[in-house]
Chains A and B, each alone.
Chain A
Amino acid sequence: MTGSPSAAASEAPLDVQVLQTAAALENLAVTSYTSAAAMPFVVAGSPGLRALIDRNKAHHAAHAQAFNQAVAKAGGAQQHAADARYAASVAGRLAAMKDPSSLTGLLNELEGIIAQTCTRYASLAAGGALRSLFVNVASVEAQHSAELLIVRELLDGGHREPGVSAADARAMPAAAGTAGIPQAVYPTAGASAINEGVVR
């Protein structure tokens, strides 16, 4: 799931295009997390993973609302549909999902696309408030990624979830300490094109 930003010709101002695309990606995340929450191995599985899925879904709904409020303020139409570029392929992969490790892998891919897109758009947006909003959201998606990467690392290694005691912290494998912080500079190569999610 990769893409690259491009300055495609459009009637809409740049800020409207990037906000609509960001909202479309957030809508995709909401539908994906909704599907994930209903999967049998999630329903019957770890309470910790269920909590992350429910919490992340709520965050993405809040982000979609924030982007749609900003796009309305900028004079554009709100985007309530899921990103068309990824919607079908993600739905297909979710339908075939059989285990928590693969699921966290897919959800992490989604978080990465949104975070990279918001990071990239922060450098494109003209106003300071919009730049700040994009990085505010990008940072939260990056945090979701960090936790999903850690969960997957522990699942794949056969380790139990982190606990609250000092003994629990000492029991964590070294790999869990670095799984959630894979890069020094947040990438943008996987950002969506600016007009990918525009309202047509």
Chain B
Amino acid sequence: MSGHSRRAFAAGVTGLWVGLALDACSSSAPPSPYTGDLRTVALAAALENQAVSAYQAVDAALRGGKLGPAVPALAAFVHTATAHHTQHAATWNAILHAARKPTVTGTPLSGNAQLMSTISGASDVAAVVSAMRHLETQAAQTYTAALENLKGVGPAVTAAATIAPVEAMHAAALGYVFSGQSAVADFLGTGGAVSIKALTA
């Protein structure tokens, strides 16, 4: 790991951990049904729901011609990625359900409105691809960072380990096919991981 990557990795994990600690001290928000590892699982379910919503918005933009003439490869990518994220959301929600916690059906995330605004305001393929690459990388880094703090070896660990590489592949494919440039780094890192504080449920 390069010095920069190692520092970014450590900073990301530390940031997530600080987020958890700060959240535990907060008393202004209504009590969350999710605590401990299950709060991380709920965050993951919310991120997957957000990805599904975002791809549905991209699909609508493509179908409506808002992004210009047809882009067959992007339409195919969006269809498949939507199915993947739907499956990921079901995986995370199954863990919540097994723990007798409410499943996450919406997008209770503090950054959701901004993301959807970015997508709805995009008028070309490059802008949409950039937003979706960011979303996918963020998800992969969030799950990678979560593995640092999840307790024990349970279904959440398996879910994070088997879903993170898929999100990373989504990001790589988007970059390579639609911008003609590979942006794969030596390590995925965790610097862009979503803080647990972003979960508003």
Contacts and interface: CB of A to CB of B under 8 A. Distances in A.
**Chain A partners chain B:** yes
A39 B5 CA distance: 31
B165 A115 contact: yes
A113 to B, nearest CB: 13
B170 A174 contact: no
A143 interface: yes
B68 A132 contact: no
A128 interface: yes
Dominant secondary structure at the A interface: helix
Contacts of B77: 177-178, 181
Contacts of B124: 166
Chain A: interface size category? 35 or more
A90 interface: no
A194 interface: no
A184 B161 contact: no
A146 B37 CA distance: 30
Given A140-B186, A166-B126, A145 B180 contact: no
Contacts of A3: none
Q: Which of A139, A164, A179, A188 has the most CB of B within 10 A?
A: A139
A168 interface: yes
A174 B72 contact: yes
Interface stretch (A58-66, A72-80, A81-89, A93-101): A58-66
Given A128-B148, A135-B144, A174-B72, A161 B180 contact: yes
Contacts of B189: 136
Contacts of B177: 150, 162, 169, 172, 176-177, 180
Given A135-B161, A177-B77, A180-B173, A142 B168 contact: yes
Contact of B166 (A58, A170, A183): A183
Interface of A: 51-52, 55, 58-59, 62-63, 65-66, 115, 119, 122-124, 128-129, 131-132, 134-147, 150, 161-164, 166, 168-170, 172-181, 183-188
24 contacts: A62-B2, A62-B187, A65-B1, A119-B165, A122-B157, A123-B158, A128-B149, A131-B161, A142-B168, A164-B179, A164-B180, A166-B125, A166-B126, A169-B73, A170-B71, A172-B71, A172-B73, A174-B75, A174-B76, A177-B72, A177-B74, A180-B172, A180-B173, A184-B83
